[in-house]
Structure 1
């Protein structure tokens, strides 16, 4: 049966709750004072003898039989006639006067004589709140009061507060006279004990209680604000909103009831604070019911939740509409309903725990703690036990801690799911972009390659211009694809920077060479200025350095209609360890207004939409350039004036490195290569599944004199390979049946050493590691031009011959 009703992991939870119940209840005194070790005597017929009671570290409650005068407010010295002996403390509607039951409304006087021993330190009285006002005289002198007792509602001023008053020293007898009046509350009289003890200890204990109350209130209030902010600025989950409201509402009860710590600081009127005390209770329980329903909606009955919340709201409405003498009667039936609320919440959380809902075990523990707190409060309310304030503090702290864990766990779980979804979305985006890159680069390879072949055939003048346009458009499309992929890598922190020896001057010269045709087509002068002081090889990423400057030059040429584009490299400082270079690209183009200069660095953004129509482009080039430099902790700056041009520049510090060693000259030893047909009588195995790329590669290789055999996938390549005929393999990487990596691994396992060149639409850095592990010799990225393909093949054939 145990295994059926409770999951195995429930057993430690229940044991923990039972243990906590024992600990908390152990902190409750069943006799009225948790601090005394010596039994305190009781007052008898208006006299309490404490001359032998040790007051060094103990307190005593002045309980027992006091003299009592009903419907009389006696002052010290007035004759004590018409009195009875009555139990103290006890509310009036439980008493009788001359055999007749009393109501809660009226006024009375209590008197008691206390015999005390001589003590080195002054004694004091801990005075609780009273229904609903009192005035205390000690030996004929007024010592304290709460409000002002009177003989009618009009002459009575209610007030509630706990206080400690110090007694005069060197007294052996205390004559206490207490005037009490109530015309405002449904209960009347003194219902809490008056405590006598050392004044410093009593005051210290009261201050500690106040401190604990204020600390707990601060925790609840700040927690409520935190969860309210979490709801407002984060996920709009109702459970978070309800819990924040519950914390904010219940935070008032900690300092606005019981010891009334808030009243020690300021007081705004008994009726207002009493309304707030009851409203905070009714509304907080209503919100807690709604919180439970929204926390685990699949495990709750909505009708029950609405009914429980509706009852609380009805109590709250009655509190607003009726006077204190009426709505204070609601507390007893409401306390009777509390087990129903807590019991149902406990059932919901137990059910949620069985069904393994997120954070349900914490919710179950918190409700168990709440049940314990409620038991303690009932014991206190019905004057059965009087817990130490620390006990309730720990109980409340445990309850709110566990409930915070519930929301934190759920919120963390939600963040985890959101993170996983975001990562999955990022992976899907990356896969999509990589796939689209491959799909776009594959036909571009054929377009660019075939265009190069047609241009090499020396077309007529009327054919050359369309071919140039075709090649330029294909390159622009390739540039856009590369920009999007690079931006995606930067955004997903997959952008890798290398540090290898490079010559910035030579890179800039190559950029000038690459862009001269574009500048010449627009009749622009493209120039480069190199500081003669620059004589170093520096460490950096040559590809990314070239990409940054190329984007700046491309942007300058695109937005310049006449004039010039100037590139410059200036040495700002140079030592044996590092070199600071200032690189600038200046044009005489359209310029950019000051207020719009920052916009051009935003992704997919240009100064205005007409620019994209007139000049084309995605607006990613400058964004990527700035982000690449930022990854190296370098800033990209802009100076521009509309109509006069723009100047982009940055200053970067490079480490000085030794230049790479010169490559030894490779001389063919097997067979000289023909200049016109450098691959004459060379048999190459082409592994490619795309018909257009097969046509392109065969066309290029046929012109070079090579014979070509084609395999449509890696499996065919492994089966077809004959090292006695084939000198080199051109291997596509992404193919059906078997990809190029697996085919290469199988070939290398056969101890084949012929060169295998990867032809891939992916970027080199994306496949470099896998290619090396598979045994590929080099990577040629599509789209490639015929000259690049020839250079790669010839280089590896020469290396093979040298071997």
Structure 2
């Protein structure tokens, strides 16, 4: 670890050395410097490089000299240099005041156009070349009232009539903490200086645009995505810092808009710095909250906000004093961030490595800015550019990875939620269907005992209510299956005519309203058999008819099946359900196809139901590429219809053998019942006894394996959920022993993929509880004939 730290320190020191240009005049490779107010460039090739006008200039304190002829007392002063570091008559001078600088330049012979590159100098100034005004920033004056400050970088061409330039620079400062010339003026070819300036501004535009758009991108990600506060604060940091590049580094913004108020821009410059650091502190706090000391970061944020508040309420002469202490605060903050990110790396947080790299990048940038600010060295623009790119690129990667990680976790949570939901529905289905099996089974048994008319009426109500509850459970499970995309279609021979007749007959028998007439309208030439999923088709038509009955108090409910087109192989049918019920307003017709929704969704609605029937029908049809249509008018009724094409199956002529109905169809058939619920055992035993079968009971799978005698038992009715050993494990062990006895699963679970699971362990068939007695009988006869 120590070796790695030494390598990192060595790298940072060397990077600082190679990324800055030393400003000290004592370097052996320094360019020509002025002496006693004269800069001799006669032996300098200005075509190859630009030359800074540094060295000894004539200095007139508290005097704005005439540019045509300077007079009076002067001293030689190093340029550029802040007034706070300058002596006049061996005494320190204040940062507020006015002065004149003068320099004579001896030029080499050249036919090229020369120019001056003028930076901002914390002041307003006028620059004269050979008595002619060449450039100005604001308006220098002798008092605060007569001085208008302004900052901008400029490149100004100069006209040369001889080999000597006399430069006079008038400067005033009454508005800023610092006064005097802080940056060097350069002379060189106009093309070179303009090209350098254009490159610098292009870099500023590019960086500002990237950071600004990145800020808006992450702000949108926060507003329209997951409300992660680290994303919010990073976006605000980007937006604040984007102003720093365009509005303070080379004052490109002021060059673009020269009419901007200096007071406004200086407030924005300082405010953007304080707020950017505050936002970055908050960003660090919420990025890795487990590794970041929350109280310390809150205090750090408060300090930055206090600096920002002072900036808002005080004039520039006061709040500009905050920059020196704030620079050291920023260094401390970055060091603190390095510690936090290092801890995050050790704890293997998402994107922590990139956070550490980006922090080192911004540390290099801050050091370069500080060196430039105090006039120690000037960083290369390309280094600053790459530093910013690395910093913001790494930070963007962190948030991208974090967002992707959050999405992954959300996906895992959603998948877990779906699994939990599926398991919950399976469990609830089993727990509801198990007692319903006893209720419906016992009701069927009592109805077969020739009850009195009043008893039969009560039993009819009981059976209807139980079946209604079962329908609700089935609807919820069906819709869950459809939502998860796991619904399957099993095409086979199907008689549409029989399906339509059975549905109308069933609802007609169950309906208590004699005011409603049930009408069945079928084409006479419908084929006896087509290929389709009879279960799903029955479900769709049944849901539509049931919906029509529910909302019709008088009139009729009509089911019609009409031929639309036909050829030798296929037939297209239009299946329509019409009622004379309450109808549906146009603005609510789409709503009725949504889950758990009715046209009247108020708490006082008159019609019960889950509101799933139409939604299930529509989704089942959509999965087959078929549209369910609705036409309705309030007070007159509704029409639901769809058009579906079915392959026609060739009719097979089967010789019907005369059969006599047997009183005991399972006479002497020995059946093993494996069931732990006493009520279900009682129902099963009663039905089997009526059918002539002999039954034996095992209360769990382990007991079933112990008492099973394949020479005696002909079939097993196996419950799947039991204590000690369930039906799945019992069947697996049974098949592993080579037993081939038919096993019929009697299960109340209709969870997704349960069929595949049951058939996969060697079970022959499935009967779902609560079972219809005739279906169970036919299933047993299928395997014991």
Same fold (TM over 0.5): yes
The alignment status of 1:727 with 2:677, answered yes or no, reads no
Partner of 1:184: 175
1:52-71 pair list within 5 angstroms:
52-56=43-47, 58-71=49-62
Structure 2 counterpart of 1:8: none
Report how far residue 421 of structure 1 moved. 3.2
Q: 1:458 to 1:200 in 2, by over 3 A?
A: farther
Partner of 2:446: 454
Tell whether the 8 Å contact from 2:674 to 2:700 is kept in structure 1 after alignment.
yes
| Cα distance change on mapping 1:595 and 1:97 into 2, 3 Å | same
The reply to whether residue 148 of structure 1 matches residue 139 of structure 2 is yes
CA distance in 2, matches of 1:284, 1:228: 15
Per the alignment, residue 659 of structure 1 pairs with 649
Secondary structure of residue in 2 paired with 1:723: coil
1:683 equivalent in alignment to 2:665: no
* Contact 2:571–2:647 (8 Å) recurs in 1: no
Q: CA, structure 1 residues 372+79, in 2 after alignment: closer, same or farther (shift >3 Å)?
A: closer
Give, in whole Å, the separation in 2 of the partners of 1:665 and 1:683: 31
Selected match of 2:695 from 708, 712, 737: 708
Q: Does 1:638 align with 2:625?
A: no
- Determine the C-alpha separation between the residues in 1 that align with 2:389 and 2:215: 14
| Kept after mapping to 1: 8 A contact 2:496/2:528 | no
Pick one of 394, 405, 423 that aligns with 1:402. 394
| Partner secondary structure for residue 176 of structure 2 | coil
Match of 2:762 among 763, 775, 780: 775
1:801 aligned partner: none
- Secondary structure of the equivalent of 2:450? coil
Match of residue 365 from structure 1: 357
Structure 1 residues 569 and 202, CA, compared in 2 at 3 Å: closer, same or farther? farther
State the secondary structure of the residue aligned to 2:267.
Answer: helix
SS at structure 1 position matched to 2:581 = coil
Distance change in 2, residues 1:504/1:223 (3 Å):
farther
* Residue of structure 2 in register with 1:6 after alignment: none
- How far apart in 2 are the matches of 1:174 and 1:557? 104
Match of 1:602 among 588, 594, 605: 594
Hey, what's the Cα distance between the residues in 2 that align with 1:166 and 1:260? 20
Among residues 156, 177, 180, which one is paired with 1:165 in the alignment?
156
Structural mapping, 1:790-801, within 5 Å? 790-798=777-785
Conservation of the 8 A alpha-carbon contact between 1:674 and 1:680: no
Q: Identify unmatched segments of 5+ residues in structure 1.
A: 4-10, 799-803
Q: Map of 1:420-439 to 2, 5 A cutoff? A: 420-439=412-431
Q: Return the alpha-carbon distance in structure 2 between the equivalents of residues 575 and 207 of structure 1.
A: 77
Pick from 93, 100, 104: which aligns with 2:95?
104
How far apart are 1:240 and its partner, in Å?
Answer: 4.0
Residue 560 in structure 1 maps to residue 552 in structure 2 = yes
Q: What's the counterpart of residue 511 of structure 1?
A: 503
Which is further off, 120-129 or 176-185? 120-129
The TM-score, its normalising length taken from structure 2, stands at 0.90
Q: For residues 397 and 101 of structure 1, what CA distance do their matches in structure 2 show? A: 42
Cα 1:32–1:664 shift into 2, 3 Å: farther
Matched, 1:583 2:575: yes
Find 1:125's aligned residue among 116, 121, 124.
116
- Going from structure 1 to structure 2, the CA distance change for 1:612 and 1:426 (only over 3 Å counts) comes to farther
Change in CA separation of 1:436 and 1:666 when aligned onto 2, cut-off 3 Å: farther
CA change 1:60–1:771 in 2 (3 A) is same
CA contact (8 A) 2:426 2:750 kept: no
Distance 2:753 2:654 in 1: 29
Distance 1:170 1:24, change over 3 A: farther
User: Is the 2:529–2:651 Cα contact (8 Å) retained in structure 1?
Assistant: no
Match of 1:736 in 2: 723
Paired residue for 1:220?
211
Q: Distance in 1 between matches of 2:46 and 2:485?
A: 72
Q: What's the offset of the Cα at 1:21? A: 6.9
Tell me which residue corresponds to 1:95. 86
Q: Equivalences for 1:327-346 in 2 at 5 Å? A: 327-346=319-338
TM-fit CA distance, 1:192: 0.8
Q: Deviation per CA, 1:234-270, whole angstroms, max 9, x where unpaired?
A: 5555444433333332222121212011112224211
Counterpart position of 2:377: 385
Q: CA RMSD in A?
A: 3.4
Deviation at 1:46, TM superposition (A): 3.1
Q: Which residue in 1 is equivalent to 2:774?
A: 787
So what's the TM-score if we normalise by structure 1?
0.89
Tell me how far 1:47 sits from its aligned partner: 3.2
- 1:190-339 equivalences under 5 Å are 190-232=181-223, 235-266=226-257, 267-339=259-331
Whether the 8 Å contact between 2:207 and 2:385 is mirrored in structure 1 is: yes
Q: Shift of residue 535 of structure 1? A: 5.1
* Cα distance, 1:421–1:66 mapped onto 2, change above 3 Å: same
Unaligned residue ranges in structure 2 (runs of 5+): none
Counterpart contact for 1:502–1:659, Cα < 8 Å: no
Q: Structure 1 pair 521/181, CA: closer, same or farther in 2 (3 Å)? A: closer
**Cα pair distance change 1:94/1:612, threshold 3 Å:** closer
> Is it true that 1:74 corresponds to 2:65 in the alignment?
yes
**1:173 deviation in Å?**
4.1
Note if contact 1:32-1:386 (Cα within 8 Å) is conserved in structure 2: no
Number of residue equivalences: 783
Equivalent of residue 375 in structure 1, options 367, 370, 390? 367
Q: CA deviation at 1:376?
A: 1.0
- Tell me by how many angstroms 1:551 deviates: 0.6
1:620 aligned residue: 612
| Residues 1:649 and 2:636 aligned together | no
- Map residues 29-48 of structure 1 onto 2, 5 A cutoff: 29-31=21-23, 40-48=31-39
Residues 119, 556 of structure 1: alpha-carbon distance in 2 compared, 3 angstrom cutoff = farther
CA–CA distance in structure 2, aligned partners of residues 765 and 334 of structure 1: 63
Quickly say closer, same or farther: Cα 1:21–1:785, change in 2 above 3 A: farther
Work out the CA distance in 2 between the residues paired with 1:480 and 1:749: 39
**Equivalent position of 1:487 in the other structure:** 479
Q: Which residue of 1 aligns with 2:536?
A: 544
What is the alpha-carbon distance in structure 2 between the residues aligned to residue 483 and residue 17 of structure 1? 69
**1:757 maps to what in 2?**
744
CA offset digits 1:550-596 (Å, max 9, x no partner): 11101111222222211223444556787654322101122223333
Change (3 A) 1:299 1:45: same
By how many angstroms is 1:410 displaced? Answer: 4.0
1:621 to partner: Cα distance = 1.2
- 2: distance between equivalents of 1:744 and 1:109? 104
When residues 276 and 457 of structure 1 are mapped into structure 2, their CA distance, relative to the original with a 3 A threshold, is same
Q: How far 1:147 sits from its partner (Å)?
A: 0.9
Q: Work out whether 1:472 is the aligned partner of 2:459.
A: no
Q: Which moved further from structure 2: 721-730 or 599-608?
A: 599-608
CA contact (8 A) 1:453 1:786 kept: no
Moved more, 135-144 or 162-171: 162-171
What per-residue deviation string (whole Å, max 9, x for no partner) do you get for residues 174-207 of structure 1?
3322222222222211111112233233223222
CA contact (8 A) 1:519 1:526 kept: no
d(CA) in 2 for partners of 1:706, 1:76: 126
Task: Using the TM superposition, give the Cα deviation of residue 788 of structure 1 relative to its aligned residue in structure 2, in angstroms.
Answer: 0.8
3-state SS of the aligned residue for 1:338? helix
Counterpart CA distance in 1 for 2:134 and 2:602 is 87
Alpha-carbon distance in structure 2 between the residues aligned to 1:14 and 1:572: 85
Summarize the Cα distance change of 1:529–1:128 in structure 2 as closer, same or farther, 3 Å threshold.
Answer: same
